[in-house]
């Protein structure tokens, strides 16, 4: 039996959560995906999914793998997309991340850098390692996946197809 590398473990965890985002959106209408819960600072499934996927894309590809992909965080929170478009984004991002991690030099896990502010997001950027970026994205995607499950259940109750 072949032992998995650390990069392969990150890849499996990240792609599992990205796939989960697509699965949460299965069977929903565009109206349900763009419905916003009636509470302060709530976001639609569309916004949560777009933010989670784009954040993962930038942290994994840009910070961990060293590719210059950029990010438009404000656009993530203004997103209005259909359910199928979001599922397609998730279906395409998983393999894109898989390819990049397969080609990544494993020494990048220890490589430390200060990410560009646009990639970092809000708050003050600081020096991190590629390993930290990947671990953070597993956590970040997990949190947003949980939010999506709750928001999906509310949207199903509030917006009838």
Transcribe 29-73 into DSSP letters: -HHHHH---SSTT---HHHHHHHHHHHHHIIIIIIIT-------H
Instruction: Decide if pLDDT at 156 tops 80.
Output: yes
Note the pLDDT tens digit of each residue in 16-53: 999 999 999 999 999 999 999 999 999 999 999 999 99
Question: What average pLDDT does range 91-113 have in this prediction?
Answer: 97
The answer to whether the pTM exceeds 0.85 is yes
Q: What is the pLDDT of residue 1?
A: 62
Give 3-state DSSP helix, strand, coil % of the chain, rounded to 5: 65, 0, 30
Instruction: Decide if pLDDT at 2 tops 70.
Output: no
Q: What is the pLDDT of residue 116?
A: 95
Residue ranges of domains in the chain, CATH in brackets: 6-158 (1.20.120.450)
């Amino acid at each position: 039996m072949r032992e998995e590398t650390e990069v392969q473990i990150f890849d499996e965890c990240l792609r599992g959560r990205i796939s989960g985002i697509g699965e949460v959106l299965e069977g929903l209408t565009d109206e349900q995906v763009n419905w916003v819960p009636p509470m302060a600072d709530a976001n639609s499934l569309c916004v949560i999914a777009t933010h989670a996927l784009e954040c993962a894309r930038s942290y994994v590809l840009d910070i961990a793998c060293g590719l210059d992909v950029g990010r438009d965080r404000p656009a993530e929170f203004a997103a209005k997309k259909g359910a199928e478009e979001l599922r397609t984004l998730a279906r395409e991002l998983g393999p894109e991340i898989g390819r990049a991690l397969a080609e990544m030099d494993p020494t990048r896990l220890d490589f430390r850098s200060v990410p560009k502010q646009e990639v970092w997001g809000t708050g003050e950027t600081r020096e991190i390692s590629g390993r930290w970026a990947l671990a953070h994205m597993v956590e970040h995607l997990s949190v947003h996946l949980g939010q999506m499950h709750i928001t999906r259940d509310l949207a199903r109750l509030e917006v009838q197809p």
